[in-house]
Structure 1
Amino acid sequence: MSRIKFFGFLFFMAVSGSVMAQQKELPWDELAEQYECPEWFRDAKFGIWFHWGPQAVPEQGGGWYARHMYMQDVGRQKFGKMAYPYHLQTYGHPSEFGFKDVINEWKAENFDAQALIDFSKENGAKYIVALANHHDHFDLFDSSHHPWNSVDVGPKKDIIGEFESATRKAGLKFGVTSHDDRFLNWWKPAFGSDKDGDKAGVPYDGRLTKEDGKGKWWEGLDPKDLYGPAPEDRTPEMIEDIKKNWLERHIELVTNYKPDLLYNDGFNFTYGEYGKEVARELYNNSLEENGTIDAVMLLKRKEKGTVNEVESGGSNTLREDPWQSEITFTDWFYKKDRHLTHNARTILEMLIEAVSKNGNLLLSMELNPDGTIPHEIEKSVKIVGDWLKINGEAIYGTRPWKVFGDGKSVRGEQVETVEGELRNAVAAQKKGEHFNQRTTATPAFAHDEVRYTTKGDDFYIIVMNPKGGEFVIPSFAKSSEVSPGTLKGLTQLYNGRKIEFKQTNEGLAITMPAVNGDSYPVVLKAKFKN
């Protein structure tokens, strides 16, 4: 090599290294500016979420058990009203047996990540998400910055690590969720005491110190690291240290486990710039590994560079940008004193609603404390999986049409509620999107309710609550501004059966075959004249 070529080579290497370094160190604003939701996420449509942790151990008491077990009166948070009495009866008084001790009870003895992932994949999930920490401030991964983690306490297992490994083996995308931003206020009841009764005024275990653990199972651990400092002791410097610790833990999370998706349970980035720094690390890691940003950052509000998440609800409109709906069966942690909010019918309805409006559905499949799936939840997910095996063509890899659907609820006509009253569905949904989900208590769709999806030249009409006989779709009227054109053929997707129809200036009249009893949604595949 000549001297000139040699120095040219050195210069090339230096410039290349500099470019790579700059690429890895792109600031958040630049990453957000170039961000486009990755195609894998848009195609996946259906994910399963293991929102699971030590709060699954108590059989009753709602999804905020760790907080409500310290509250004799939960106020408006009625879903947690059983936590305190259940805790007294099952474990004893919270001054003597607190949530730190509930964590120790969690052994996850039958946890088999590969079996759970394989079950999820078999039943239609295209991506897997796992809870990294909840508001209880307990990490479910091998955290070197937080002693209260699942490797050192409780199950003595790297829950996130096992989920991540099993998901990669199954060839699926993997995500994690963090809910830790509110723990300081959330844990305030742990520093209180009973207002009345035999233990009135006796401090709960949030006020224990590291020295109090001598000779106990938690010797060497400091309750303050779990519950935070007592409210009266919190200084601005202490709060800042907590934020920095959050940053260290979550940088470690996205670096060691390389998730394809991260969800912060909040409307803003956790702790502001600290949360942006974690998102920046997530995207830069993806950019370095894939040459493009192939990861997804989810927030509950619409923020440039992120994907919007709707909790226990769905979008009221067809959105231009991809988004995600999230739902769960009970209170996010499986509780036997709570009825199931969802069954196979409502899960399919929420999935189809989301897909028709350019979104995904993430289903929290709650687990027993030992890591197994409750029977009634397993049954519903299997039905969803069976439906997707037959009708997945109309879901996976699809894109929305000009309008998301038609029917009484879309047109804003009066719909009968479960109490027999009439309401305007469109007007009701304008109240908000979070927590507007369809549930087992929601009235069935009218028989003319349909949703649309497309894939290339293929067009799908999904009849949400089919009934034998004729109904009319106004959107397909020959005179309609959004009509897809002249229909030449309509078949039932699962058996290829031809469906009778008549397209006029008033709409598309479809004659559905007789349906015996209640039916899950039926997909019709439409063909149009060129």
Structure 2
Amino acid sequence: MNKRHSFFYAINSRLKSVVYLSLVILCAVDAYGQEKEKSWTELKQNYEFPAWYTEARFGIWLHWGGQSQPDNGGGWYARHMYMQDVGGQTFGKDAYPDHLKQYGHPSKSGYKEVLQSWKAEKLNPDALMKYFKEMGAKYFMILAVHHDHFDDFNSTYQKWNSVNIGPKRDIVGDFRKSARKYNMPFGVSSHDDRYLSWWLPAFGSDSSGPLKGVPYDGNLTKEDGKGLWWDGLDPADLYGMPPAKRTPEWISDMKKTWVLRHKELVTKYDVDMLWYDGYGFPYGEPGKEVCRTLFENSLKKNGKIMAVAAGKISDDDAIVKDIECGTSNDINPKPWQGIITTSSGWFYKKDREMVHNARTIIEMMADVNSKNGNLLLNVELLPTGSLSADEKAILDEVGAWVNKNSAAIYASKPWKVYGDNLNSILKRATNIANADLEALKKQAESEQFNQRTVKSPPYGNDEVRFTTKGNILYVFVLNPIEGEIGLPALGLKSQQLPGKIKSVKMMDGKRITFRQTDEKLTFSIPAVRPSKYAAVFEVKGAL
């Protein structure tokens, strides 16, 4: 073999070796990648809830979307606008008549027209995020998709989304950027697993009146949209197929698409938290697969799982237990979350009934924190994307209280008992009718929807909640007035066996006179306090 041939032979052999080695590496990388795709069971085996969540104690949620656009009509506007009679669902009683006035008959102008009219023209995620952080929130969540099946993000698998229709912007993406800018853990909520049944009224028609029997726009097809603003879009992708055409194959494909949409949501936006509405994993295994993807994505990015999944899922230790409009009955050793909103409808409406004010929100926070939970407060934005004056007034007061008492809130842990002088409302209820008294007792025993509202009787002046941090016990007097208060749980011979108390201070540093006996701790609540709401005291020596 001559030198020239030897040279090319050597080069050829080397190229073959390089190609072979590259293929081996690629196969190894692929195998490694496959090996690293863990199951949900494997991922949650050594899972620990991250400190960013367990120490936060207070978060803000924007339950905001296309259903915020109509002036009135309740929180389930999209469903109830197709119902002349909503039965006992009073929070949507005005949706149908209001829709006729504002948009026209739902046979032609349906919910899709509501979405198209929603522009969110004053939305400023940076300004909102800055405000929420200043008022003391430690994490943030945005609604990504409600029961209406409309994606508030740049969805590859759902053309009915906020980038294509209405605001023409990636709402989830915009808020994610702002959350990262202000170093706020970022979550998304999905309420989408019930849309098949939730949308059924859209396939009906009026049962009376001049347009009786005329099908609503849920029955329209893609072809019906030619030449109209929704040309190219299929109503079936929003409302689902008409019930008679929902084959097992179609439902199976819908669930597969649901998984793709939600996997994209948690990975493309790299979310820190996913919250599910409803009870259990959405659709069973599909919902669990999305949680697996959430954890897997976090593991690959951080080297450990820093993500959180939450929902009304009681049989999985890796899921944060969620209590809607309520609180736990006792200290829960596992992280949990109470979610509340200012009105009865979750979405802003001019005719909404306010169920919370600053006082009740603060009382809820103290109660939830004392039981090892976080309070997630929903903010009902105007359809434009800005805060209403009444909402901001409430938030300003909540934020002022949180900032004054932050040491007793963030990274706090429960004590041996969550409170003292409990059930003061029932003790003071001698002048309440028997039926109302029984209702209060039943509410005290439940969890979901057991919240106290502006209509609830006030707490007794001596009822308190406890949190701890390090060697400090914090006492939250829920309904304080000037005078002495006695706490049996802090008596030297109580079941809790506290230590000898050395000092009691208000959160502004003011020393408080006290005396501790075998039976109780007694101390004075001054007339002048840092806030007119729950008064917080720092107690040293008890722990």
Question: Normalization by structure 2: what TM-score?
Answer: 0.92
Please identify the structure whose Cα radius of gyration is greater.
2
Counterpart of 2:71? Answer: 59
SS in structure 1 at match of 2:484: strand
Matched, 1:436 2:450: yes
SS in structure 1 at match of 2:123: coil
Counterpart of 2:33? Answer: 21
Q: Kindly tell me: are residues 418 and 312 of structure 1, through their superposed partners in 2, closer, same or farther at Cα, counting changes over 3 Å?
A: farther
SS in structure 1 at match of 2:279: coil
Q: Kindly tell me: are residues 257 and 518 of structure 1, through their superposed partners in 2, closer, same or farther at Cα, counting changes over 3 Å?
A: closer
Q: Give distance in 2, aligned partners of 1:205 and 1:101.
A: 10
Matched, 1:470 2:484: yes
Contact 2:488 2:520 in 1 (8 A): yes
Counterpart of 2:350? Answer: 336
Q: Give distance in 1, aligned partners of 2:431 and 2:112.
A: 42
Percent same amino acid at aligned positions? 50
Matching residue within 94, 101, 106 for 2:113:
101
Matched, 1:37 2:49: yes
Displacement of 1:62 in angstroms is 0.7
Displacement of 1:387 in angstroms is 0.8
Map Cα deviations across residues 357-400 of structure 1 (whole Å, 9 max, x no partner): 00001111010001000111111111111111111110011111
Contact 2:408 2:467 in 1 (8 A): yes
Displacement of 1:518 in angstroms is 9.4
Counterpart of 2:538? Answer: 525
Counterpart of 1:379? Answer: 393
Counterpart of 2:338? Answer: 325
Q: Give distance in 2, aligned partners of 1:529 and 1:306.
A: 33
Contact 1:414 1:423 in 2 (8 A): no
Map Cα deviations across residues 46-97 of structure 1 (whole Å, 9 max, x no partner): 1100111010011111110000000011112111101111111221111121
Counterpart of 1:306? Answer: 319
Q: Give distance in 2, aligned partners of 1:404 and 1:120.
A: 28
SS in structure 2 at match of 1:76: coil
Displacement of 1:428 in angstroms is 2.4
| 1:271-282 equivalence runs, <5 A | 271-282=283-294
Q: Give distance in 2, aligned partners of 1:46 and 1:424.
A: 32
Map Cα deviations across residues 235-279 of structure 1 (whole Å, 9 max, x no partner): 111111110110010111011001000011121111111111110
Counterpart of 2:6? Answer: none
Q: Kindly tell me: are residues 206 and 409 of structure 1, through their superposed partners in 2, closer, same or farther at Cα, counting changes over 3 Å?
A: same
Matching residue within 399, 409, 414 for 2:423:
409
Q: Kindly tell me: are residues 419 and 343 of structure 1, through their superposed partners in 2, closer, same or farther at Cα, counting changes over 3 Å?
A: farther
Q: Give distance in 2, aligned partners of 1:483 and 1:194.
A: 67
| 1:48-447 equivalence runs, <5 A | 48-302=60-314, 303-330=316-343, 331-409=345-423, 413-416=426-429, 423=437, 427-429=441-443, 431-447=445-461
Contact 1:74 1:81 in 2 (8 A): yes
Matching residue within 488, 494, 505 for 2:518:
505
Aligned residues: 520
Contact 1:413 1:424 in 2 (8 A): no
Displacement of 1:423 in angstroms is 2.9
SS in structure 1 at match of 2:45: helix
SS in structure 1 at match of 2:423: helix
SS in structure 1 at match of 2:278: coil
Map Cα deviations across residues 9-43 of structure 1 (whole Å, 9 max, x no partner): 99x98999589636741100111222221111011
SS in structure 2 at match of 1:33: coil
Map Cα deviations across residues 103-158 of structure 1 (whole Å, 9 max, x no partner): 00000001111011111001111101000000000000000111000000111000
Contact 1:23 1:284 in 2 (8 A): no
Contact 2:444 2:450 in 1 (8 A): no
Structure 1 letter corresponding to 2:312: K
Counterpart of 2:16? Answer: none
Gap runs ≥5 in structure 1: 1-8
Displacement of 1:339 in angstroms is 1.7
Counterpart of 1:460? Answer: 474
SS in structure 2 at match of 1:265: strand
Gap runs ≥5 in structure 2: 1-20
Q: Kindly tell me: are residues 65 and 426 of structure 1, through their superposed partners in 2, closer, same or farther at Cα, counting changes over 3 Å?
A: closer
Q: Kindly tell me: are residues 167 and 16 of structure 1, through their superposed partners in 2, closer, same or farther at Cα, counting changes over 3 Å?
A: farther
Displacement of 1:424 in angstroms is 6.9
Q: Give distance in 2, aligned partners of 1:417 and 1:13.
A: 78
**What is the RMSD computed on CA atoms of the aligned residues?**
2.4
Q: Kindly tell me: are residues 54 and 413 of structure 1, through their superposed partners in 2, closer, same or farther at Cα, counting changes over 3 Å?
A: closer
SS in structure 2 at match of 1:487: coil
Contact 2:401 2:531 in 1 (8 A): no
